[in-house]
Structure 1
């Protein structure tokens, strides 16, 4: 019988599932259901995921949960107790463990004594960054995750502490989080410039393009208008994106008041957020002796790989890496935390997608090419007929040139001109900016 470990990241916008077996095979899924919707629905989704992967409940020997949500502590504990109870009723016998912000693994009863410790743990992103940084053998690394409601930046250098006992020091001095994400509302400030608003479209209707009653434009709406996102492939197509709704929201709240086109408003929004994140990264790296040009940028989250190349260009960074499972980095990080707390189980040195198309025996043309889409890259707002690639169809050592968009089910990579990408032996996508 195979041994599996199951990790869940309960987020503001989406819930991420990761199952890892002993051979390093990852099974991944991102769903729109969260604790704000229904714990019962979440348990059903967990059951569907196991059935889809043909894994029995008895084969899962560990279940670890992290809560990337802003929720009242008492409510969080109550939801977790309900989740554990419903899982047990569904046949689970594996006790549920929770990840704390300090890298510990605790039971619900232990978490109830200090519920603040389990809310929005940044440790998942830090651990995932460390894992891939060591795999890539990068001495200076900036880890960037942009999710639905927040962004996470971690700085890793030769001087970064590596032992588990030094996690608090890393979290204090090398990690910053801020409220920028795909669901960040866009508006017009007092000075008449386009800016991010403090409110987010979560929990609630989400971006206008989700067609769930959202009225105000978000970064996700802007990305859709610019052609970065595939309206029929968002979360495997679970949420069809409505381009006209995104355009209407941007027109009403941004373009019309500013007297500009919808596309220009979307471009300004994208540029503003990229510049803001680049500024935050510069502030984090200010005290390090290494120059930014010596760093690589490791991109995670649903929106991180969309904007990573342009953020890197603003910083003078010439290599961006989008690793395996980039869209579910926190959930993967919780498995790494679990391994740190369990001397009998270690994370394999190489991870791969279970059941993923293996193009090693492919012959003929570059089969990863899916087609072309109009994409707005340049400030002159002239659309480009951009090639769209399926990440699963790219072989190790395949290369492709930008402009290009590389699509996976959990994240999308946007490459600009004067760049090229290579898939390395670990199936990490390495992008070089020229």
Structure 2
């Protein structure tokens, strides 16, 4: 996966509705793509179908493929749908109920009947061990080997397929977890065993337990999926050195991914953020709000100075999708994003107050929106987009998939229009307005929570439905510029190709900055760097091309939150505490506009070892011909009626030609809708840049 490689590279992203495939010829920079329906019952089938189709379409031999990079929703779906394996928790005596006690926080403080997420491990499968490590790492009680062997008998009798071992303060000293794992592994061959010190050794007993349990819960099914996919790739004479996308924007070989499947929980959206960084660089925009709207969900993340913002915590399987605190917490490095609004397949209905509600339920790919003609009967966002004229029934997916406008109208009429006394068009406009408003509010709040104003960013729209809604969304947020890259509908798959080989390690080191032993920290960083270098070089990266970055989570003493500070590698080796203090205060001031006269303390260290980021200069797949291909009635809501709107072939747009709104731009994977009082132009890389009038 270096720039010197000349073979074709393929990125594959499994979404809720479509599986996207992108193939890059690194010699010419040419991109080709395909979309196939996702196969929920067997996701590998959709991946293989998409890869075979793109090879056949492009006339490429399997042996000419250099590598395949894959992102999948398998991990997230297994957690959401509770379709993992029978898992047990082994923990310190007295800590059996930590999964249910949690933080004792309520996401809805006035709801007396609040629903909390059901633990992945029922109480009957939670076992306690007599062991104890003090909060300073001193071993108070070591586990009795005979008692652990007796525990193995109980686990075997319970017919568990995976075991998570989580002991108190093991992030300080992991010796007891190691001892118990070694004994259980010998007694329970074939059973998956995960320890918290391997998955994510961080402070936070509840979050660490939840993360280790989730990793064990999905690891066997993820391992089976990857093994089957690699075998089938070999049968097709494709390279079997499969790479997978992590949630933090890095990629790893499949052997590493199988050890830490929980790190892939947001792999698809992470690919979208990486793609947005590339598209932004080509359009000379470093500060972006990446708006990724697909078939099932929509996400937004901020990209500042060309890099996506990151965090070390995430929630999955929320009882209420957009209620923070209602899901299972995970301590994993992820790109900081918010899941917002709904996707193209999200179902619209009338709520108890007689208002239009969109999502969170989705029609997915089966049965899909009503207009797909696959058995769906409920109206979705895609049905509304079709009725309003944003989509063309005959040219969807380049004409490969015909849409049924009558079915869309019937679904909207029966579910929304007739009950609310509206016309079908008015009801469709209500769906469009509702989903855009909810997404705009969520994205604005997400920016504020990050200490930033959304008006300072340019919206970059990706996903099949993103460009349809982006201009309306931007106007609602007060943003005046929108970028729609070529191939936006398969951007996440493209982003996999633009992501470096990378792995992050974390170690909790909780102590005041003033008393920090930097010589000890430098030794720890060097050990993690060596471990990371081994992972990166095993993936084909030369050691000389790999880089190490160091970060530290810090806070003022007594605070309940921390900020991440990037530390130059030589600071630890030079023992420069003053520079760490200065860097912390600069970061704190940038986020909160002030600093405090308090002592600073360290919470944990981050070490990321990465190969070079692939340099990709995609060539716009333009073709000769007239860009204007016709017109059709489109509803913008401003005049209360349909407007005859020019329709352009995206692939025939010449660079730097200004086009006044309203207009619709069609490409195979998505459609761009530009409202009146706006203008657009394509740049040399195929990005369509829309300027919205105030």
TM-score (norm 1): 0.90
Whichever of the two has the greater Rg, that structure is 2
Q: 1:10–1:35: 8 Å Cα contact kept in structure 2? A: no
**Secondary structure of 1:64's match?**
strand
Within the candidate set 356, 368, 388, 1:194 is matched to: 356
Instruction: Please show how residues 19-34 of structure 1 align to structure 2 within 5 Å.
Output: 19-22=23-26, 23-34=28-39
Which residue number corresponds to residue 95 of structure 1? 241
C-alpha deviation, 1:172, in angstroms: 6.0
TM-score (norm 2): 0.57
C-alpha deviation, 1:409, in angstroms: 0.2
Instruction: Please show how residues 42-191 of structure 1 align to structure 2 within 5 Å.
Output: 42-69=47-74, 70-72=76-78, 73=218, 74-121=220-267, 122-158=269-305, 167-168=310-311, 174-178=336-340, 180-191=342-353
Within the candidate set 438, 441, 444, 1:276 is matched to: 438
Unaligned runs of 5+ in 2: 79-217, 314-332, 503-535, 546-610
C-alpha deviation, 1:316, in angstroms: 1.2
C-alpha deviation, 1:348, in angstroms: 3.6
Matched, 1:226 2:399: no
Matched, 1:241 2:421: no
Q: 2:19–2:50: 8 Å Cα contact kept in structure 1? A: no
Taking only aligned residues, the RMSD between alpha carbons, in angstroms, comes to 2.4
Which residue number corresponds to residue 318 of structure 2? none
Deviations 1:24-45 (A, max 9, x none): 2211112224353564464244
**Secondary structure of 2:411's match?**
helix
Which residue number corresponds to residue 430 of structure 1? 689
Provide the rounded CA distance (Å) in 1 between the counterparts of 2:68 and 2:665: 32
C-alpha deviation, 1:336, in angstroms: 1.5
Provide the rounded CA distance (Å) in 1 between the counterparts of 2:379 and 2:481: 31
Which residue number corresponds to residue 329 of structure 1? 491
Within the candidate set 13, 16, 28, 2:17 is matched to: 13
Provide the rounded CA distance (Å) in 2 between the counterparts of 1:26 and 1:141: 23
**Secondary structure of 2:464's match?**
coil
Provide the rounded CA distance (Å) in 2 between the counterparts of 1:40 and 1:135: 34
Q: 2:37–2:365: 8 Å Cα contact kept in structure 1? A: no
Provide the rounded CA distance (Å) in 1 between the counterparts of 2:358 and 2:489: 23
Q: 1:156–1:174: 8 Å Cα contact kept in structure 2? A: no
Instruction: Please show how residues 322-361 of structure 1 align to structure 2 within 5 Å.
Output: 322-338=484-500, 342=541, 343=545, 347-348=614-615, 350-353=617-620, 356-359=621-624
Question: In 2 relative to 1, CA 179–281 (structure 1 residues): closer, same or farther, beyond 3 Å?
Answer: closer
**Secondary structure of 1:71's match?**
helix
Which residue number corresponds to residue 385 of structure 1? 644
Question: In 2 relative to 1, CA 118–285 (structure 1 residues): closer, same or farther, beyond 3 Å?
Answer: closer
Q: 1:207–1:217: 8 Å Cα contact kept in structure 2? A: yes
Taking CA–CA contacts closer than 8 Å with sequence separation of 6 or more, which of the two structures ends up with the larger relative contact order? 1
**Secondary structure of 1:213's match?**
coil
Deviations 1:364-396 (A, max 9, x none): xxx111111111112553111111110001011
Say how many residue pairs are matched.
422
C-alpha deviation, 1:250, in angstroms: 0.4
> Which deviates the most, 73-82 or 140-149?
73-82
C-alpha deviation, 1:108, in angstroms: 3.7
C-alpha deviation, 1:208, in angstroms: 0.5
C-alpha deviation, 1:339, in angstroms: 6.0
Provide the rounded CA distance (Å) in 2 between the counterparts of 1:37 and 1:232: 29
Instruction: Please show how residues 414-429 of structure 1 align to structure 2 within 5 Å.
Output: 414-429=673-688
Provide the rounded CA distance (Å) in 2 between the counterparts of 1:246 and 1:237: 18
Deviations 1:151-173 (A, max 9, x none): 11111234x767xxx85469768
Question: In 2 relative to 1, CA 137–421 (structure 1 residues): closer, same or farther, beyond 3 Å?
Answer: same
> Which deviates the most, 127-136 or 241-250?
127-136
Deviations 1:180-204 (A, max 9, x none): 1001000111110001132111252
**Secondary structure of 2:266's match?**
coil
Question: In 2 relative to 1, CA 186–143 (structure 1 residues): closer, same or farther, beyond 3 Å?
Answer: same
Provide the rounded CA distance (Å) in 2 between the counterparts of 1:131 and 1:49: 23
Question: In 2 relative to 1, CA 10–139 (structure 1 residues): closer, same or farther, beyond 3 Å?
Answer: closer
Q: 2:11–2:68: 8 Å Cα contact kept in structure 1? A: yes
Deviations 1:207-247 (A, max 9, x none): 00001110111000000000100111111222210000000
Matched, 1:398 2:657: yes
Provide the rounded CA distance (Å) in 1 between the counterparts of 2:373 and 2:261: 34
Provide the rounded CA distance (Å) in 1 between the counterparts of 2:39 and 2:499: 22
